[in-house]
Amino acid sequence: MSLDDALPSRIATALQHPDSRVDGITSFTDRYLVATARAAKILGLPIIMQSDSLSLSTDKYIMRQLSTESEYPSLLVSGPEELEQTMRASTDPVEFPLVVKPSHGKNSEGVSKVANSRELFHSVARLARTDSAVGSKIVIEPYISGPEIDANYVLLDGEILFFEIGDDFPSAGDSDTADFAADFHESAMLYPSALPQKERDLMKKSLYDLLLKAGFRTGIFHVEARIRNSEMEYQLSSDGLMDLVKIVAPGKICQKTRPFLLEINARAPGQMPTWGTEFTYGIDYFSLQLLAAVMDRERLRALSRPFLHGAQSWTSVVFVPTKGLGIFDGDDVFQDLHRRHPELMAQVSHHRSMFRRGDSILPLSDGSWPWVAWFVAFSRISRYHVVKLGDMIKDRLHYNVIER
C-alpha cells in the first residue's frame, strides 16, 4: 500500500459501499495512523486522535521537543555532509555516547549507539543509504543508560482507565562493550515492573502529562522511556541471570530521578507485549483499540478493568534472536521442546515460531524478523522464577542456520 497524500482518499473510497456499514477505522501500525485518521474524517467516522497529534508522535525528532529536556538536545540531519556542517558551526563539545536513529522507523531498525566521532559519521552515512531512512531524516540524541520501560495507557476523554509498566530488558546495544553495529531489538519484557512504587508513580504522571501535551485524550498508547538516576539497575546474578536490582553504592544516585522519553506510539503495543499484558492483567489492548475507534465508551470502560487482585502472575515475554542470515534448518522449535521438556512448556502460555524449515532469514531491510521465535512464560512463585524459566527455555530451543 503506497504511503502518499492520496492514501486517505483511497481508503475512504474503498470503504464507501452501499451494502456495507463501517462504524470506525483504526490502524495498529504507526506507518498508517495519520492516513487512517484523515480517512475517518472524510467518511465522517469517529476521530479519536487528530492527525496533527499523530504526525507528532510518529516523528521521533518532533516528539523529542515535547519533553523540553534542554540539557539533552537532539540533532536532525539528512546525512554526513549536513552533520559535518552542523558540528563545525557549533561551539558546544560533543558528548558521547550518542544514539543515531531514523526519525521515522519501526522495530528499532537502524538504531545504533556510537562512542566517538568516527562511529557517529559511519552510522549516519550507513543509515542515510538504507531503506530505514527513506522518507525521513536522521536523529542524533544522547544515550541514556537507565532502565527502559514500556508504559501503556488506556485513556477515555483524558481519564486513565488502565495503566501498567513493563520492564524492557537491555538489548545488545546497551552493553558497555557493544560496538556501534550492535542492535537495539528487544530481548525480554517482564510484568509487573520491579521498579519502586515512587518511580512508577513518577513515570505514570510524567508520561501522562506528555500525552496530554501532545493533544491525546482517548485511545491506547504505548510509551517507551528510560529512567535517569533510577534506584535500580540491571545486573547479572551469581547464577548468570539478568534482572533489575537495587543500586547498592549510594554514590551512584546523586541526582533527581526523571524520565527520558523515547517514543510515543498512539496505538496498542505489538502483539508480543500485548499477549504479556493479557495473561498478566486480563487486558486485551487490541480489542480496546477497536472499541475506541467506534467510541463505544461503555464497553471501553468495562473492558479496561484488570483482574480483581491485579497481576495474576509474573510474566516474561522472551525473544529468541536469529543466529545469522541463511536458511532456517529446524522443526517447530516449541513442538521439539515440548517433546524434550514438557515441564518447561507447561509454563509457556503463548508462543510463536517465525520461521519454518527452508525459510530464508534475510536482512531486516528485506522485511525479515530479528527473532527466530518468541514466547510468554509465567510463574506464580516469584519474579526470579520466571526470569530463570525464560532463560532455561531460551537455552533449550534448538535450530540451525545454513549459510547461503
Mode of pairing for the β-strands spanning 138-142 and 75-77? antiparallel
pLDDT at site 18: 79
pLDDT value of residue 43: 95
**Residue 54 belongs to some domain of the structure:** no
Sign of the CA dihedral with 174 first, then 175, 179, and 183 last: negative
CB 191, CB 170: distance < 8 Å: no
Helix (H) or strand (E) holding 77: strand 75-77
Of the chain, the end-to-end C-alpha distance in Å amounts to 31
pLDDT tens-digit series, residues 260-279: 999 999 999 999 999 999 99
Report whether 248 contacts 200 (CB < 8 A).
Answer: no
With respect to residue 65, please indicate whether it lies within any of the assigned structural domains. no
| Residues 132, 244 within the same domain | no
Report whether 257 contacts 202 (CB < 8 A): yes
Same domain membership, residue 17 and residue 130: no
**Residues in CB range of 160: below 8 A, 6 or more apart:** 153, 154, 204, 208
175-193 tens-digit pLDDT = 988 888 888 989 999 999 9
Nearest to 297 by CA among 236, 217, 357, 377: 217
Strand partners, 101: 139
Does residue 60 lie in a domain region?
no
Same-domain check for residues 266 and 155: yes
The model's pLDDT over 316-339, given as tens digits with 9 standing for 90+, comes to 999 999 888 899 998 889 999 999
> For the whole model, what pTM was predicted?
0.93
pLDDT at position 253 over 60? no
Q: Are residues 322 and 391 in the same domain?
A: yes
157/257 same-domain check: yes
Q: Please state the domain count of the chain.
A: 4
φ/ψ (deg, to 5) at 365: -65, -20
**Among 375, 397, 392, 396, residue whose Cα is nearest residue 331:** 397
Please report the pLDDT score of residue 96 as a whole number: 93
Per-residue confidence (pLDDT) for residue 254, from 0 to 100: 61
| Domain boundary residue, one of 272, 304, 336 | 304
What's the CATH code of the domain at 216?
A: 3.30.470.20
Which H/E stretch holds residue 236?
strand 232-236
Structural domain containing residue 320: 314-402
Q: Provide the 3-class DSSP secondary structure of residue 291.
A: helix
The answer to the question of residue 63 being in a domain is no
Residue with cell 497529534: 53
Q: Is 295 left (phi over 0), alpha (psi -120 to 50) or beta?
A: left
Cell of 130: 538504507
User: Both 287 and 339 in a single domain?
Assistant: no
Residue 394: what residue type?
K
Percent over 70 (pLDDT), the chain: 95
Look at residue 106 in the predicted model and tell me its pLDDT.
Answer: 73
Looking at 251-367, which runs of residues are DSSP E strands?
A: 258-265, 314-321, 326-329, 348-353, 360-361
- Domain identity same for 273 and 163: yes
Predicted pLDDT of residue 373? 95
Residue 240 shares a structural domain with residue 175: yes
